[in-house]
A and B are shown apart, each in its own frame.
Chain A
Amino acid sequence: MQNNSTTAWKGLVIPTSILFLWVFLGMIGRLNTQLFPTLGEVWDAFCYLVQKGLLWHHVADSLSRVLAGFGLAILVGVPLGLLMGCVPQSHIWFGPMLHFLRQIPPTAWVPVFLLWFGIGEGPKFAVIFYASVFPIVINSALGVQQIPREYWEVSRVLCLSPWKTLTTLVIPGSYQAVCTGLRLGMGMSWRAIVAAEMLASTSGLGYLVMSSRSLARVDEMFAGIALIGLIGIVIDAAFVKVQNHLIPAWRWRVTKAGGEELVGAPAPVTASFQEV
């Protein structure tokens, strides 16, 4: 993303080639359309879903669930992470527990959450919360810990109150890392909600894909899957845009350059591959 205009096209070469191959195979009749629809069929299915007004209903349901669960994860995760970052050695106490819980796929909890929270929206919020809260907590804590010791000394020498230290050092200093956590969390929750809707739901994109299986509508399945990916990309891109323009001064973070001199450096804007 560094040279958006000059290199962005390179990333489109492979997807475009695949689309062409797909169209080509469809044209020469080499696709078993029972299992693999042609691109035209997928597009028709997509248009059909749009015309019937079903699609937006599913998309809106999925998105609103993500927003609710993700919002809750922010409210809990960011303060908890910042607090952990401020307490020395907190990772010794909390690290193993966090890493254990983090290994469990959110969908594995679906049966448990169904039991606990009933069959309404509760378990879906819980799944999204679970999926997104760990990257948020861990990255927030990391962000605070990455603030060089030298800056804490400034805060001590100037006798800043805990509140002032929080607002002038901890929050701006960890802003980039917190945003990375939020971005990862958002991606995780989007993936998790679709999975959760596949297991227990009557609406949402996950439900759309799953129900088209029982109707053997392989074209709708593909339309749903593609849309899930597209929406995920759009959300992520929007997130980066907001992150970089919300508070421009906070893009500067403290780094130790050359061992001695402390300078503010513009933080890297994207992390294209490291999130997987």
Chain B
Amino acid sequence: MSAPLLQLQQVSKKFNDGDARGNVLALRDVNLTVQKGEFVSILGPSGCGKSTLLRIIAGLTAPTAGRCLYKGQPVTKPSLERGYVFQDPRLFPWLTVLENINLANSSINGEELLEKMDLAEFGQALPHELSGGMARRVALARALAPRPSLLLLDEPLASLDLPLRHNLQTELQRIWEQHGVTCILVTHDIDEALALGTRLIMLSKRPGSIRYDIPLELSLPRTGHQERVRALKTQVLEWMEVR
């Protein structure tokens, strides 16, 4: 059998603040295996190291202990195979939407991607002309442009209002289905985690480690399984209280 897409083995991360408080342990002994085609929702309280976990997978930061393997190879630096969507859109304000999307690789067809995301007429717009939701869609398109196998989503829908969130959640689902990209979504929104994931992982509070890892074997869209989703949510809330 070939190596799984992603493997974290005993990953720990310690931050050195450089002040009197000394070291802060953000993650402790995280073991995680992600197979191709999964949509993993990672849920946890704020400050539990969710983002740090994603940054380690992306190669933006190295674990203090343990190994992070992508397709069997240790992750040492970012790669275009692993797309990253940040909490904020972080578009370069002096580049047009199309230029932002084509940043990594100008050979891909950014216009086609824009069309797919309903942004066709905004290709020549500058980021400040976009609404918050559009800017996030552009950030998503920018991450998808190099055709990654793994998409890392760091609360990409935080601070959006509810209707917009729902819109973009549907969008994410569609991308996951159509592009065949494996997704890891970090969020602190239970509904979002349950609506999108095929697997739910709950982290403990700092230092973050995996407390629960449950499959969500529900077909999409989840609206047809409201009872089951509600029961899961009650369960998850209960787990969160226990912590």
Contacts and interface: CB of A to CB of B under 8 A. Distances in A.
Interface of A: 150-151, 153-154, 156-160, 164, 168-169, 172-173, 175, 247, 249-250, 252-254, 260-264
Interface string B83-127: 110111111111110010001100000000000000000000011
A264 to B, nearest CB: 3
A160 B103 contact: yes
Contacts of A164: 103
Contact of B159 (A151, A154, A175, A260): A260
A253 B80 CA distance: 26
Contact of B126 (A154, A168, A249, A254): A249
A66 to B, nearest CB: 30
B14 interface: no
B90 A154 contact: yes
B196 interface: no
Interface in B202-231: none
Contacts, number: 75
A157 B94 contact: no
B128 A157 contact: no
A157 B58 contact: yes
A255 to B, nearest CB: 9
A168 B91 CA distance: 11
Interface residues of B, number: 29
Interface of B: 58, 60, 77-80, 83-84, 86-96, 99, 103-104, 126-128, 142-143, 146, 159
B92 A151 contact: yes
B159 A168 contact: no
7 smallest beta-carbon distances between A and B, as pairs: A264-B93, A252-B93, A158-B104, A172-B94, A157-B84, A249-B94, A262-B88
Contact of A264 (B78, B79, B84, B128): B128
Contact of B80 (A159, A173, A175): A159
